[in-house]
Amino acid sequence: MQNLLDKLNPSQQKAVTHTQGPLLVLAGAGSGKTRVLTYRVAYLIKECGVPPYMILAITFTNKAANEMKERLVQILGDDGERVWARTFHSACVRILRQEIDAIGYGRNFNILDAADAERLVKECVSELNLDEKAFAPKIVIPVISDAKDNMLSPGDFLKRFGNDYRYKNIGRIYELYQKKLKIQNALDFDDLITLTVKLFEENPSILEKYQNRFRYILVDEYQDTNNSQYRLIKLLSQKYQNIFVVGDDDQSIYKFRGANIRNILDFEKDFPNAEVVKLEQNYRSTQNILDAANAIIQNNTGRKGKRLWTQNGQGNKITLYTAFDEFDEARFVSDKILELVERGKTYKDIAILYRTNAQSRVLEESLTHSAIPYRVLSGIRFYDRKEIKDVISYLRLIKNTDDDLALKRIINEPKRSIGKTTVDKLALLAARYQISMFEALKRDEILESLQRAAGKLVEFRDMILSLKEMVNKVSVEELLKQTLEKSGYLQMLQESNDPDDMDRISNINELINGAAKFDETSDDPTFENYMDQISLVSDIDNYDDAQDTVVLMTIHSAKGLEFPCVFLCGMEEGLFPSLKSLLEEDGLEEERRLCYVAITRAKEELFISHAKSRLVFGKTEKSRVSQFVKEIPDGLLNKESAYEETPAVKVYDFTKPQPSAFTSSLLNMAKKEKKDFEFNFKKGDYVEHTKFGKGIILEITPVGNDYHLQIAFDEVGTKNLMAAYAVDKLKKI
């Protein structure tokens, strides 16, 4: 253990060796907070003799939970496995699967994701004959979510807001929504937390059981907790007060999801006798990067106050690039990446970050043209793809046949000639009998009244029941394969002519592989556990740096990650900070924290770019540089621009009129063209590329002032290159 402590600085040591009573660790970006968390767990077990199962370590993402688990196993061996290192959601699911009958739900509840919740809300709105636009899910769901976060039941909500027409109706939607969830024995994401709180508040003996069990509680990313999560923590830690939270008020970026920064700011008030440890030494970035981050964040009010420093040295200046438009920006990014790689960086050292997912497209195109391998951690989760959701819906229905949402999704997918009219009729009859739709399919009198369609419905019902028979008799992988077979889903895709369906099949194969992996690696590979796991993962959880590619993602997704080189794109007013944030109270401060998070992802090199104009909804809009960029001291920046070839040596001659931005950019582009184009290849030429080796040109297509080349290389396969970039690296052979 002493060796472990030797690896820590004095502040970190102080945190790790604090064992009794509440402690807040204010951990700046890159200050080694994961190390502190894991070492503290190790310290409790090894030095204080705390049994591992008495420790609960809570994180927000599965990735963080798995990372912590891995590191604990490294230090502690088997004892590491026995610590509960889980996300809020998965910890709650685990508790609810044991105890939820105490509050009137069945233990085999299904978990709805955001898309399901949206569909359910739409159903409610239409059943209540409310206007679909005024009560769109976008409006209704955040209100319901907020009500749940504050532990307001539909009744409480109506009592409090029932005077307002709009809120009264949202209250009615909430009421119906919750009723439907109950009938289907389903929980949404918020329910996982709030029902656990409700369970504990209404059942003191159950609460006490878990208080005794989890004698030591650790919470990561404490600044992201919302009200119900705070309440949960508070309840669980009430008896023994061993609550150890780690967070950074400057990195609170999830207000829109209910995160309440008050939780971290008021920790000392909430937990009397709390101690506070600040971790300010940064082990990640260069001093220049930290100076920029510090300069920006100090414009926020209501901070705990921290100033990051490092022994890593000053490092290079931050590059700031002023682009003509987003295409020029993308080209800058690609060019710089090629340069970095030439200087010895690998692709996986590089991340491209942006505010909104929509920005990725142009960047992707440019990367493709430059033959730079990349991955996008997209906004669409793997499990959100249609074909995956369809298949999962089968599994959900098999697991819990009362899941009407799942049933509706797949009852006619593939086509079984069970049309909308039939489904609506069935739903109506089920509602009349107060039972789920699948239950209705078991009643003769209901089937009779459906007449013509009854045969098909019975066929569907029996198919599901026969699959249900197999649950936990065969592996999850096998169950999945049987489902694809018996439902005819796979066959439908295989017989399709749509090229997209080929991708769908490969996605489904990936799902099968995932299930097989689950069967092999899970310590308890039941069907139920599999379903819980897939309900709670996101794409970022699957990010691994094993593949050597550049990675693109939103800043939100990048939280908790680090890269030697970071590109921060689209630093423009209205985009970042976003237009909407400027209208919200404290919105700008949240954006500034987001900017702080973005900058502190970089270890060595940081490139910031903004465009003078950008296409928005297909229209060209002028844009100004982000105010956050202006908050960075000039001395830290190395400015480059589409408008000037060599800004450092350029002498301005103010006696002559300056060219307008537009003309100067055109001049600049013309210059580039002249330089770049000595292009004398033709289709069928054998060529050698400095990176890809030998190949043959398959196709040359003019694109604007450039040429698109398709070249089949002997070793790396067929690549698409743009002549302007490739020409220097290509020669005829």
Partner DNA sequence: CGGCGACAAGTTTTT
Partner DNA sequence: CTTGTCGCCG
| Residues within the interface to DNA (CB under 7 A) | 60-62, 87-89, 113-114, 132, 136, 138, 189, 253, 256-257, 355-358, 379, 381, 412, 415-422, 453, 536, 538-540, 554, 556-557, 578-581, 584, 587, 617-618
- Which residue's CB is nearer to DNA, number 139 or number 666? 139
Largest CA distance in the chain: 93
Cβ–Cβ < 8 Å for 302, 24? no
**Minimum distance from residue 578 beta carbon to DNA (Å):** 4
Cα(465)–Cα(423) distance, integer angstroms: 19
Query: What is the nearest approach in angstroms of DNA to the Cβ of residue 364?
Result: 12
Quick one: 418 or 687, whose CB is closer to DNA? 418
Cβ–Cβ under 8 Å, residues 700 and 708: yes
Nearest approach, Cβ of 447 to DNA (angstroms)? 15
- How much is the CA Rg of the chain, to the nearest whole Å? 29
CB of 89 to DNA, least distance (A): 6
* CA gap 110, 534 in Å, rounded: 11
**Spatial CA neighbour of 562 closest among 317, 293, 302, 334:** 293
Q: Are 581 and 590 in contact (CB under 8 A)?
A: yes
Task: Please tell me which residue in 79, 190, 221, 328 is annotated as part of the active site.
Answer: 221
To DNA, the closest distance from the beta carbon of 181 in angstroms equals 15
Beta carbon nearer to DNA, 68 or 479: 68
Q: Which of 33, 180, 348, 409 is catalytic?
A: 33
Element (H, E) at 351: strand 350-354
33 catalytically annotated: yes
CB nearer DNA, residue 64 or residue 724 = 64
| Contacts for 669 with CB less than 8 Å, ≥ 6 apart | none
Catalytic, 355? Answer no
**Catalytic-labelled residue, pool 14, 17, 19, 34:** 34
Known active-site residue 539: no
Residue 19 CB coordination number (10 Å): 15
Residue from 331, 364, 291, 329 nearest 609 by CA: 329
Supply the minimum distance, in Å, between the C-beta of residue 267 and DNA: 21
> What Cα–Cα distance (Å) separates residue 3 from each residue in 8, 41, 75?
9, 15, 11
Choice between 88 and 394, CB closer to DNA? 88
Least distance (Å) between residue 314 CB and DNA: 32
Which residue, 358 or 666, has its beta carbon nearer to DNA?
358
Of 48 and 139, nearer to DNA (C-beta) is 139
DSSP assignment of 455-524 equals HHHHHHHHHHHHHHHHTTTS-HHHHHHHHHHHTSHHHHHHT---THHHHHHHHHHHHHHHHHHHHHH-SS
Three-class SS of 570-630: CCECEECCEHHHHHCCCHHHHHHHHHHHHHCCEEEEEEEEEECEEEECCEEEECCECHHHH
Question: Of the residues 71, 336, 389, 601, which is catalytic?
Answer: 601
Q: With respect to DNA, which residue has the nearer C-beta, 52 or 560?
A: 560
Backbone angles phi, psi at 312, to 5 degrees: -75, -10
Residue 138 is among the residues annotated as catalytic for this protein: no
Measured CA distances, 598 to 250, 289, 607 (Å): 12, 11, 11
**Nearest by Cα to 730 from 701, 684, 697:** 697
CB of 580 to DNA, least distance (A): 4
221 is catalytic: yes
Q: Is 663 a catalytic residue?
A: no
Instruction: Look at residue 310 and give its three-state secondary structure.
Output: coil
**Residues identified as active-site:** 33-34, 220-221, 251, 601
